[in-house]
Amino acid sequence: MSTLFTTSLNNPILMRALEPFEKYYNDTSVEEIAINRPDEILIKKHGSQGWAAQRADEVTIKSTYALCRMLANVTEQNFDLNELPILAATLPAGHRFQAVLGSNVRYEMGDTNGVAICIRRFDKNKRYSLDDFSLKPQEHFTGEVVHRGVDKRRYSDFPYEDLVCAVQNGEAVLISGATSTGKTTFLNALLDFIPRDRRIVTVEDTREVVVPQPNRVHFVVSRTA
């Protein structure tokens, strides 16, 4: 991340706009927060199967709009309640921010102006390994693996060794799953096995991938720019 980009995200006006929200996601036990309407925050904690609603009087249409406008300014994106009320960005601490505001959002049948925001918390100090995904050296996979018409090179009969060797040899690896199933976390774990002398280029709509290789560059391409 460049010095210019870091300085912009740490803009004091932006930090003040974040104050009504950050106390909810600064808790390390929180995985994600959601705002579906003013005056209420939904909180999902790590390991929890559901969301807990909490009253939040400071979360208003005005405060959410001010935050989106500031984020759009410092990340040089277009944001307008009437023409382009959608924003994807990264917050100063690396948390992922997604928002839709205005007349496109309806919570109750009679609503004409709403808000939908999700902030997924990022912890740079929390690292995962393949072991956290039940992939261990010299262990067979106990589930069923189905290959439909795929002529894939096999490096080993053990899933851990097969996957690691595929990554080390530059094979294409598809990571697929539903929201919040750990796709990015799994990808970050795999990146450790790419040789350190490789050049890595990433393309994301918000920064989430953590690349350990020194020869790297990250492109951030907003869906709404």
For residue range 129-141, list pLDDT tens digits in order. Answer: 888 888 889 887 6
Q: What is the pLDDT of residues 33-80, one digit of tens each?
A: 999 988 999 999 987 878 999 999 999 888 999 999 999 988 888 898
Nearest to 118 by CA among 47, 55, 179: 179
Percent of the chain whose pLDDT exceeds 90: 27
Measured distance CA(1)–CA(207) in Å, rounded: 10
Measured distance CA(87)–CA(90) in Å, rounded: 10
